[in-house]
Structure 1
Amino acid sequence: MSKRTLGKSAVQITPILMGTWQAGKKMWVGIEDADSIQTIRAAFEAGITTIDTAEVYGDGHSEQIVAEALADVREQVEYATKVFVNHLKYQQVIEACERSLKNLKTDYIDLYQIHWPSGSFNNEIVPIEETMSALNLLKEQGKIRAIGVSNFSRDQLAEASQYGRIDSVQPPYSLFWRQIEKDLTPYCVENQISILAYSPLAQGLLTGKFPRGTKFEQGDNRADNKLFQGENFERAQQALDKLRPIAEKHNASLAQLALAWLIAQPQANAIAGARYPQQAKDNALAAQVQLSPAEIAEIDAIGRIVSDRLDDSPVMWNW
């Protein structure tokens, strides 16, 4: 899989990244460590070398699973992890990074990201200048190679950029969830900032594997996802019916079509999670799906059946 430059940094990433929220187990059901390890390894062997995790995914468990899967090929992969919103004071950032380095069994992190803006989830507000100061020090020390943010608005990204180079932003973004296109995407294009889209398959909705009437087990975060509820869910089914013929034309799955559309968008890359090895291999194949400009436009219009009816809230869940 050909790589792309992360922002203006020296880091090279794959356009499809392996997402490992589920490997942390917390807020997921039925996850086994052995499956997670095999799946992460399968992603690597299929050409996905950029792995996204976070300290809050199972309180470090996801990071440890990533290390278990890839420690022997560390120099061939790119680790992206995140510091959570309760650790944004200067010293807390330094200590959080050290924990992540230990969990990941490495002496450097390729991309270190602020997971949520300060003040999220009723946490204490810390000036972005203080957080960025710690991140800049870590970068100078060689402990991190690039700085990113996650769940930041355009204005929050612009403010953070006043205090240091931001090479990526990680928002929710998929064919069905497109708020960032209004102002965040143009800003990223203008400033050469990579977009690392999380939930690029709308938490599995774009795979087509969740038919009308689907109910999730207690503890599954998708039960609170707005896209799986009421009229949104019905509109999604209508859109999926229209996408199937295009996918079939390319001998691709719905998921591969959705990922191919996303990585064809300006500055956009897709963080795709997977529970099992075959899913990771299938995600990697999306990079080979070549869509014409006309097909990209057609898929775009179909996606709007869902996205145009959503409100402007950037949070995908009713938490």
Structure 2
Amino acid sequence: MADQNNNEAVQKHLPLEVKRRHFLKGIGFIGAGAGAILTDHILNVNSEVEAAEVPASSATPMNSTNTGEIPLRPLGKTGVKVSAIALGGATVAQGNKREEAIRIIQEAIDNGITFMDNAWEYNQHRSEEWMGEALQGRRDKVFLMTKVCTHGRDRKVAMQQLEESLRRLKTDHLDLWQIHEVVYDNDPEKIFRTNGAIEALDQAKKEGKVRFVGFTGHKDPAIHLKMLSYNYPFDTVQLPLNCFDASFRSFERQVLPELNKRGIAVIGMKSLSGTGDAVKKGVVTPQEAIRYVMSLPIAALVSGIDSLEVLRQNLAIARNFQPMEAKEMQALRDRCAQYATDGRFELFKTSMKFDGDIGRIQHGFPPQSQMAT
């Protein structure tokens, strides 16, 4: 009955064409029930900050009751609820065999993870292909997101990529389509120029191929704030959040409050710093790192899951989730501060290590394989 009520509530928010397809095909969703430009001093705020206590209101998660199930949280103002943990599409198809990746995805869905992350370029498109296979018979159980990887190219290229993603994912629509890897200083100008990728977001929504839209990036809070300065009605924004971030070029301090203020759903990523090095070196445990980010006011955390062992570990963390108190969060920030201020555990902010070759080439930079290590 709860699922039926959720689906009925979501239908109210769907474009007419999508409603028609749902009626004809029986496809459902997991669901519930222009301002001023940002001021220069916000855009140019000093990105290296001292560790100071974040206000309690910024450390209040969107659910605080443990039910023994994967928590569901509101996705901003969309009227939809998603699982607080999302399965990362990049990692699941990175090094795994097809059968193993499909098993991980399906076991995640069967155990309450409703949010599926992906991107057009992940693993030479293998991530979308394998996820599309895994979702057969389970599409109505998930909130499906992928990302458009235009890297400054125009609306036409973006729409071509959308059609390719839909084909690989074996679906006629996406629940969320995000502009991927906004990490270069000139990306906002390229995205918002006439005939830029932003126009593809509008077109895709109008055609009923996409329900919600957003953007992602991992490099610099100032770039996120610059994107927000255009006052486009993004539904979501994806950004790195972890217990080191508060002390170094902090997305938590600079971007998260602005997103919450605007009612834009926050999707966290890189809770284990992108590589897990901090865990491998004993600085933090997976439980501490994931619980910290889940205790922030976010809708969901994209988690890199590359094995059934990691999946089951993360399922247990989510099922047993109890929000950290503000003092507990601050204690963890303080403990991590000595490792944070040189960026050693957040190389995605300071190096090209996490910058995709497709994006580098499109910006006129050599691929990582041609760069000295």
User: What TM-score range do you get, normalising by the shorter chain?
Assistant: 0.7 to 0.9
Letter in 2 for 1:50: F
Cα-to-partner distance string for 1:105-142 (whole Å, 9 max, x where unaligned): 011101100002386799x9453563222211211222
Match of 1:157 in 2: 227
Cα distance change, pair 207–37 in 1 and its aligned pair in 2 (3 A)? farther
Cα distance change, pair 262–43 in 1 and its aligned pair in 2 (3 A)? same
Letter in 2 for 1:62: S
Is the CA contact 2:245–2:252 (under 8 Å) kept in the aligned structure 1? no
Deviation (angstroms), 1:86: 3.6
Deviation (angstroms), 1:147: 0.5
Residue 172 of structure 2: SS of its match in structure 1? coil
Is the CA contact 2:87–2:302 (under 8 Å) kept in the aligned structure 1? yes
Within the candidate set 276, 296, 303, 1:272 is matched to 303
Deviation (angstroms), 1:207: 7.2
Is the CA contact 1:260–1:286 (under 8 Å) kept in the aligned structure 2? yes
Match of 1:289 in 2: 321
Residue 94 of structure 1: SS of its match in structure 2? helix
Cα-to-partner distance string for 1:232-288 (whole Å, 9 max, x where unaligned): xxxxx4x33xxxxxxxxxxxxx21221111011123531111111121121122222
Is the CA contact 2:109–2:141 (under 8 Å) kept in the aligned structure 1? no
Matched, 1:315 2:346: no
Letter in 2 for 1:196: I
Deviation (angstroms), 1:144: 0.7
Identity level (%): 24
Is the CA contact 2:152–2:190 (under 8 Å) kept in the aligned structure 1? no
Cα distance in 1 for partners of 2:150, 2:99 equals 29
Cα distance in 2 for partners of 1:270, 1:139 equals 24
Cα distance in 1 for partners of 2:338, 2:226 equals 29
Match of 1:95 in 2: 160
Cα distance in 1 for partners of 2:228, 2:335 equals 31
Is the CA contact 1:262–1:268 (under 8 Å) kept in the aligned structure 2? no
Within the candidate set 248, 257, 272, 1:201 is matched to 272
Cα distance in 2 for partners of 1:121, 1:145 equals 27
Residue 299 of structure 1: SS of its match in structure 2? helix
Residue 240 of structure 2: SS of its match in structure 1? coil
Cα-to-partner distance string for 1:5-38 (whole Å, 9 max, x where unaligned): 222113321111100212443xxxx432222111
Deviation (angstroms), 1:175: 1.5
Cα distance in 1 for partners of 2:297, 2:110 equals 27
Alignment of 1:29-108 (within 5 A): 30-86=95-151, 88-108=153-173
Cα distance in 1 for partners of 2:273, 2:110 equals 25
Q: How many correspondences in the alignment?
A: 273
Matched, 1:167 2:235: yes
- Of the structure 1 ranges 197-206 and 136-145, higher mean CA displacement relative to structure 2 is found in 197-206
Q: Give the aligned CA root-mean-square deviation in angstroms.
A: 2.8
Match of 1:131 in 2: 197
Match of 1:9 in 2: 78
Within the candidate set 222, 232, 253, 1:182 is matched to 253
Deviation (angstroms), 1:202: 1.6
Match of 1:144 in 2: 210
Cα distance change, pair 305–85 in 1 and its aligned pair in 2 (3 A)? farther
TM-score (norm 2): 0.66
Cα distance in 2 for partners of 1:269, 1:257 equals 16
Match of 1:251 in 2: none
Cα distance change, pair 157–258 in 1 and its aligned pair in 2 (3 A)? same
Is the CA contact 1:118–1:125 (under 8 Å) kept in the aligned structure 2? no
Q: Which runs of 5+ in 2 are unaligned?
A: 1-69, 354-373
Letter in 2 for 1:167: D
Is the CA contact 2:76–2:299 (under 8 Å) kept in the aligned structure 1? no
Match of 1:215 in 2: none
Larger radius of gyration: 2
Deviation (angstroms), 1:174: 1.4
Cα distance in 2 for partners of 1:277, 1:304 equals 32
Cα distance change, pair 65–206 in 1 and its aligned pair in 2 (3 A)? same
Match of 2:175 in 1: 110
